[in-house]
Structure 1
Amino acid sequence: MPVEKVMKRDGRIVPFDKERIKWAIQRAMLEVGVRDEKLLNKVVRRVVRRVNELYDGQTPHIENIQDIVELELMRAGLFDVAKAYILYRKKKAEIREEKKKILNKDRLDEIDKRFSINALRVLASRYLIKNEKGEIVESPRELFERVAVLSVIPDLLYDERVFDKEGNHEQDLGRVEEYLRTIDEYDGKLSIGRFKLNKYHFERLLRLYRELAEKGQMKVPIDDVIKMLENGAFDHYEDEVEEYLRLMTGQVFMPNTPALINSGRPLGMLSACFVVPIEDDMESIMKAAHDVAMIQKMGGGTGINFSKLRPEGDFVGTTAGAASGPVSFMHLIDAVSDVIKQGGVRRGANMGILEVWHPDIEKFIHAKEKNVGTNVLSNFNISVGIWADFWEALREGKRYPLINPRTGERAKEIDPKSLFEELAFMAWAKADPGVVFFDVINKRNVLEPAKGEKIRATNPCGEEPLYDYESCNLASINLAKFVKYDENGEPYFDWDEYAYVIQKVAKYLDNAIDVNKFPLPEIDRNTKLTRRIGVGMMGLADALFKLGIAYNSKEGYDFMRKATEYLTFYAYKYSVEAAKKRGPFPLYEESKYKDGELPVEGFYHREIWNLPWDELAEEIKKFGVRNGMVTTCPPTGSVSMIADTSSGIEPIFALVYKKSVTVGEFYYVDPVFESELKKRGLYSDEILKKISDNYGSVQGLEEIPEEVQRVFVTSMDIHWLDHILAQANIQLWLTDSASKTINMPNDATVEDVKAAYLLAYKLGCKGITVYRDGSLSVQVYSVEGEKKQRVKAKPSDYAVEKLKAVVEAEPWLSKFINVEAILNGTNGKEKTESMGLTFSVPHVTAPKPQAHEHPHHTEPSDVPEEKIKELLGIAYCPVCYEQDGELVELKMESGCATCPRCGWSKCVIS
């Protein structure tokens, strides 16, 4: 009698699945380079036959079946395969034990098993609830359940049995207050099907009820809603909770970090991005410091535009003294952030912006340069806000006026070329400041008439331009999960499933606005006026690897454009449906949406459409739209690690890198790349070492086939021109912006940075962050040429074509963009060498880091060894050092200093 069931290690009884046996044997065969489908099927048949003979309809344990597999492999003479299978079993057993240790559990459940050790470490270090002794008291399943339950609470109150969009009902809100006073009594007493509501879920339900009832939209009293919950009237929403649970635990999408930490917990804040206003008076400045403190203690990051503050030395009427200027007040905010440690290791994150016309713009550009080795503005990313008039002055070679914001009068005139040079130099030297193109941000800004002004600030990583006191909650969809394989094993992208998930994630984020516990009443009010959401992407690099498409190729850019077009189109699709049932965002009638305009550049280029945008625009005109903005591409440091995928829209940092742990060293290999090596019979410790020693890249390695070198590219294998093109192609279809690093090699020049700025601007990017390899740390060489030279990245043919087209269209650009020199790698090289901007010192060992800040520019000199140590230390991850006693150098990713191992980032979103 055939065996139908099998007992798992956790005692569960599940169906006997011979495909799982086949997969395990095939994996072992590939490990030793055996590719024989007939032989594989023959061994599987023998295993199944032996299981049926020995157990005759009974239920064997999984270990019994694995013993039979080992035996049958040896009987078939496949001793190497049997050995690989035994080692795999042993490794799996070790992984299980390691996971138990990380999670503080005796037994793993199915969800624990889905996540890699790396993912579980990240969850354990930052996200899972701990008791007062620091012991983990929450499982990954429980974490994702509390997130999923909270996200479905608005569905109950928007149910047509209790909700009326038109709003003409009066309810006794005193009863809501009574429930809020006795909230502890309801902890775990109410449920949506099998999912219990804790007291924080219940509190958010009560507060949303009160908000909707105040608008007259609740048809029934709160007592009736609670009775319905008790009687199971809302139990069919259990399926919706299950679906969000499936999507998160299946690593298909992840909300931003604050949502994972705070959902169903006391703080309750789900948003990551905020903008705080600051006016030119002390009361406003101190209010801004207070607001930043309130936001950051709950885990958010803030953006502030300091341009309204009078310049340093300007007249102060109340004291007849001199103003200290915007940069001094940035230090005030920085100090506030410093004392508010978020989660112990996450520092406060700010974006400081000064507009290019401000008289203190030069001081601002150099704000992070002073005081070598100290923590100057360590909690700030800084960006210069540029408007069209600056580019016009640069083009015409005219002097550029700097305006005193207090008087509106010219303070002085400067040479725009010199300022541009200074800006590019500091970005070259220190990866700060970045630039924000405010004219591009506001070009398609459909909210401008409703808000009465232009957008003038962004969140800390620059991907979310926001109005004063607006916030945005974000989530990222894992593109790699939609790569499927047909019957011939050929990969394809499942666009239909992707469209479905986009709409589910848009709904998740829209619901999150309703159950969000905002840090300030002004933020609550302004966020709900526009109901901005940010559906984003991650896993782009892994998806392209799986599809066999090079990131830096025309096919790669076509895929990026289409993926982003779908993202925005289907986020809007949900938003229109939600507007029909729940009403559009409150400022809709005053926006340009009703005139058929969309805040999406791609909408105005019909020739590149893959989807019926004209129909969508008509639907928005007819029914309205629930969310003022819908898509963005944020950084996803630790969130993508939880999802076991590549970060955001970035290429991967390294295909292979060496990891040191207490028991020794091993190589971390990108999972998609690892399976490709095994499929081709190339996997070995020797090849991993070679790749690791080659900066984690396969470029120039003769053992690696050309096709693999073409597809499996890392961030430094891609020319900076191609990085800009990737950002520009993705930007085309986003309503908001994209967080992306433009990687440049160590020998890139200031001229390259200037060219990158102009190209990014002309190609429609909303901002740009350039990172020259090594500029986060001081380059220390003991012997020239000791390290192997990296294979130089070349621009793709597509990038060359675009570069030439941009310069030909506007010949004045050739004053700043030397096409030939960029293409042959000599752009500005002589100039940089003559500046003498690098220095050599004896090799030193970096000490334990004291901070996590960019180093500061030093002129060539005899720098004391202690100073070098100090400079070196500040480029390393504060978390990994503490965990393993090993220095892990930070890298620049999505515009933020990020740890490649644990996902620690200066940005709070990820």
Structure 2
Amino acid sequence: MKLSDNAKITLAKRYLMKDAGGGILETPEQMLKRVAANIAHVDCLYYGKSEEETQKIESSFFEVMNNLEFLPNSPTLMNAGREFQQLSACFVLPIEDSIESIFETLKHMALVQKTGGGTGFAFDRLRPAGDFVKSTFGVASGPISFLKIYDSGTEAVKQGGSRRGASMGTLPYDHPDIVDFVTCKESDLDITNFNISVTVSDSFMEKVRGDDPDPDYYLVNPRTKNPHIDPETGNLKRMNARGLFQLILERAWRNGEPGIIFIDRMNEFNPTPHLGKYETSNPCGEQPLLPYEACCLGSINLGLMVNSKIQVDWDRLRKVVHTAVHFEDNVIDASQYAIPQITKMHQGNRKIGIGVMGWHDMLVRLGFCYDSIKALKLAEKVMSFINQEAKKKSVELALKRGVFPNFKDSIYDTGKEEDRVRNATRTTIAPTGTISIIAGASSGIEPYFSIAFARKNVLGGIDLLEVNPLFMEIAKRDGFYSMELEKRIVESGSVQNDKQVPEEIQNIFKNALEIDYTWHVRHQAAFQKYTDNAVSKTINLPFNASLKELDEAIKLSWKSGCKGITVYRNCSRASQVLNIGIPGKDESLKTPIIPKINGTTKKNCPECG
């Protein structure tokens, strides 16, 4: 494996097997052999392949991982062939409106998270604070109180000794406690293990945009399923859609939360509506799931899918997609789940999520600017190809292994041979945090956050400084590299307006904060068009971005077909994972003064000027 120093650190810290004293017991290649052997054995164990055939399959699995063309989600790399053998990344656990259910789900959360899984929760069914509790003749404490309990539980469970748990908490726009939910992460120190998102309907967005002349709507008590009666006034409680949307904007502007999930859009593409509706997603929003569902993910390194003729290598990409689908279908059978309900749902729908990383790397190798129509057209072409090939391979597997057990009455139950798939979903765009570090690839479909940056505290307190290796390669190849140039990039994180860097190179190496937010949203929409599940994408904005820009970004994402959106204004939190330049170089980057909404205490971010 061609690994960077940061990749080696990441593997040693999180992935490689260790003895009781923390000594490393395997090399990266041995890790991949462990994983490949474990996943390939499924062909022999369940599908009648001979030892010789299984060995060939194992070799193909090892090859795509060793070449860094494809990597599965972290739990597979960590756990395959080991004690836990829990290999999926994403889970959704249901919470019913009772103390018994709330704390039973809390236990299930702990069991899932200790093996490396991320969990999503819809707090939709919990009665609002102050509501009547018949069994005790008391009053309910409301969903936010239990969200905080779940957050504390997540803090206490370290996933497999490798990574801290992560969760998603959602509440619908018409829940009586929605205002308290939107504002519950007032400080960076509040509810630190949860991402939160508001689930909104199309009718809500129509009211926000003014398409519906009545901007108000009733809040609904989930206990009674009727409009909520305000306990103070005795009146039916109504909410102004534009007012709530403005509050969401202000909170997201301050610290990036809450995000928004377009729940009707997600359910429009639910492959098994006969089993229920989507209510929430996994922690990063890319995987809508039914209660007790899971999904195993894996990502293809697009930066390696460019041939010597500076063209997309479609044959190589096809081969990797087919291998990845086979691999992930095997993962479902190889995995041991924390509770039987998850086993039943995941094996019943057999959802997998093949995604991508290295998208900006591919664009650079082709000479395309991220903020260009050419890039958007290629995004659609590449993801359409991946989606089609993934479905073809799933149909091929179904001929040999059978369709997924819950196939009847699904959207694929059409009577057409080309719809008889093995997997209810095949594609997902994940954020690829640590596996993109291992692969030396740009993360997911994101533009480069910076040409040089520090990842803060990602490995138990270790900071990783990264200088874009592709830029360094091109600078040395084209003869404009110098130590002085590298020093300037490390300090600024940018190559824009650097006279030593050719203009065409500056253009293809714009970073996330130098690309207008509309291009961020349009890239998300382009990939979403051909993705079964959803797309994880952060709409990164500079420190001085306005509320109007956030407003327009969210409305554009809904209008253009995205299933959700997360916006983040740089330096809007006292601590963030990715930081431009040298750690500690400017203390104000660590503790920025956040300007008030009304602008009375405006202070410019050092990065933005």
TM-score normalised over the length of structure 1: 0.61
**Separation in 2 of the partners of 1:509 and 1:704?**
42
1:431 corresponds, among 250, 253, 256, to 256
2:479 corresponds, among 681, 685, 693, to 681
Structure 2 SS opposite 1:505: helix
**Is residue 2:535 matched to residue 1:738?**
yes
Change (3 A) 1:778 1:518: closer
Q: How much has 1:158 moved relative to structure 2?
A: 4.4
Matches within 5 A, 1:712-731: 712-731=509-528
2:84 corresponds, among 261, 267, 271, to 267
Deviations 1:517-569, CA, capped at 9 Å, x for gaps: 11110000011111000001001111111111111111111111111111111
In the alignment, residue 238 of structure 1 is paired with which amino acid? Q
Matches within 5 A, 1:854-869: none
1:143 corresponds, among 28, 31, 54, to 31
In the alignment, residue 215 of structure 2 is paired with which amino acid? K
In the alignment, residue 261 of structure 1 is paired with which amino acid? M
Corresponding residue of 2:460:
none
Structure 1 SS opposite 2:71: strand
Q: How much has 1:237 moved relative to structure 2?
A: 2.0
In the alignment, residue 378 of structure 1 is paired with which amino acid? T
Matches within 5 A, 1:324-403: 324-344=141-161, 346-369=163-186, 372=187, 375-394=189-208, 395=210, 396-403=213-220
Contact 2:543 2:604 in 1 (8 A): no
Corresponding residue of 1:317:
134
Q: Which has the larger radius of gyration?
A: 1
Corresponding residue of 2:65:
248
**Separation in 2 of the partners of 1:702 and 1:368?**
43
1:454 corresponds, among 258, 274, 277, to 277
Structure 1 SS opposite 2:476: helix
Contact 2:14 2:163 in 1 (8 A): no
Q: How much has 1:835 moved relative to structure 2?
A: 3.9
In the alignment, residue 422 of structure 2 is paired with which amino acid? R
Q: How much has 1:693 moved relative to structure 2?
A: 3.2
Corresponding residue of 1:465:
288
In the alignment, residue 769 of structure 1 is paired with which amino acid? T
Change (3 A) 1:833 1:296: closer
Corresponding residue of 2:557:
760
Structure 1 SS opposite 2:37: helix
Structure 2 SS opposite 1:625: coil
**Separation in 2 of the partners of 1:557 and 1:773?**
24
Contact 2:596 2:602 in 1 (8 A): no
**Is residue 2:352 matched to residue 1:533?**
yes
Structure 2 SS opposite 1:267: coil
TM-score normalised over the length of structure 2: 0.90
Corresponding residue of 1:257:
74
**Separation in 2 of the partners of 1:319 and 1:527?**
37
Change (3 A) 1:658 1:444: closer
In the alignment, residue 345 of structure 2 is paired with which amino acid? N
Q: How much has 1:323 moved relative to structure 2?
A: 0.4
Contact 2:359 2:445 in 1 (8 A): yes
Structure 1 SS opposite 2:571: coil
- Structure with bigger RCO (C-alpha 8 Å, 6+ apart): 2
1:518 corresponds, among 324, 337, 357, to 337
In the alignment, residue 119 of structure 1 is paired with which amino acid? A
Deviations 1:475-517, CA, capped at 9 Å, x for gaps: 001011111113xxxx111011101110110110001000101
**Separation in 1 of the partners of 2:549 and 2:355?**
29
Corresponding residue of 1:421:
246
In the alignment, residue 620 of structure 1 is paired with which amino acid? E
Corresponding residue of 2:600:
836
1:594 corresponds, among 390, 405, 413, to 413
Change (3 A) 1:133 1:446: closer
Structure 1 SS opposite 2:408: helix
Q: How much has 1:669 moved relative to structure 2?
A: 2.8
CA RMSD of aligned residues (A): 2.4
Corresponding residue of 2:328:
509
**Separation in 2 of the partners of 1:658 and 1:318?**
53
**Separation in 1 of the partners of 2:34 and 2:161?**
23
Matches within 5 A, 1:32-47: none
Q: How much has 1:336 moved relative to structure 2?
A: 1.1
After TM superposition, the structure 1 stretch with the greater mean CA deviation from structure 2, 647-656 or 720-729, is 647-656
**Is residue 2:477 matched to residue 1:654?**
no
Q: How much has 1:689 moved relative to structure 2?
A: 2.1
Contact 1:750 1:832 in 2 (8 A): no
Q: How much has 1:595 moved relative to structure 2?
A: 2.8
Corresponding residue of 1:690:
488
Structure 2 SS opposite 1:586: coil
Corresponding residue of 1:566:
385
Structure 1 SS opposite 2:141: coil
Change (3 A) 1:833 1:639: closer
Structure 2 SS opposite 1:588: coil
**Separation in 1 of the partners of 2:539 and 2:532?**
21
Contact 1:656 1:688 in 2 (8 A): no
Deviations 1:678-723, CA, capped at 9 Å, x for gaps: 12211001112222333x1111222222111111121111111110
Deviations 1:275-306, CA, capped at 9 Å, x for gaps: 00001111111111111011011111100000
**Separation in 1 of the partners of 2:159 and 2:302?**
30
Change (3 A) 1:834 1:366: closer
Q: How much has 1:838 moved relative to structure 2?
A: 4.2
Contact 2:42 2:333 in 1 (8 A): yes
Structure 2 SS opposite 1:269: coil
1:130 corresponds, among 1, 5, 18, to 18
Contact 2:13 2:162 in 1 (8 A): no
**Is residue 2:373 matched to residue 1:554?**
yes
**Number of residues paired by the alignment?**
575
Corresponding residue of 2:232:
none
**Separation in 2 of the partners of 1:377 and 1:134?**
31
**Separation in 1 of the partners of 2:574 and 2:251?**
14
**Separation in 2 of the partners of 1:334 and 1:666?**
27
**Separation in 2 of the partners of 1:659 and 1:592?**
42
Deviations 1:128-163, CA, capped at 9 Å, x for gaps: 1111111111111211011001111121134457xx
In the alignment, residue 477 of structure 2 is paired with which amino acid? K
Q: How much has 1:116 moved relative to structure 2?
A: 2.1
In the alignment, residue 460 of structure 1 is paired with which amino acid? P
Corresponding residue of 1:213:
none
In the alignment, residue 393 of structure 1 is paired with which amino acid? K
Corresponding residue of 2:302:
479
Corresponding residue of 2:439:
643
**Separation in 2 of the partners of 1:159 and 1:331?**
45
Contact 2:115 2:160 in 1 (8 A): no
1:629 corresponds, among 392, 413, 425, to 425
Structure 1 gap segments, 5+ residues each: 1-110, 162-232, 597-617, 780-785, 788-830, 844-888, 890-910
Identical aligned pairs, as a percentage?
Answer: 40
Deviations 1:229-281, CA, capped at 9 Å, x for gaps: xxxx5123212111111111111111100000000000000001000000111
Structure 2 SS opposite 1:590: coil
Matches within 5 A, 1:9-20: none
Structure 1 SS opposite 2:129: coil
Q: How much has 1:389 moved relative to structure 2?
A: 2.1
Change (3 A) 1:645 1:778: closer
Contact 2:166 2:283 in 1 (8 A): yes
Q: How much has 1:840 moved relative to structure 2?
A: 9.3
In the alignment, residue 581 of structure 1 is paired with which amino acid? K
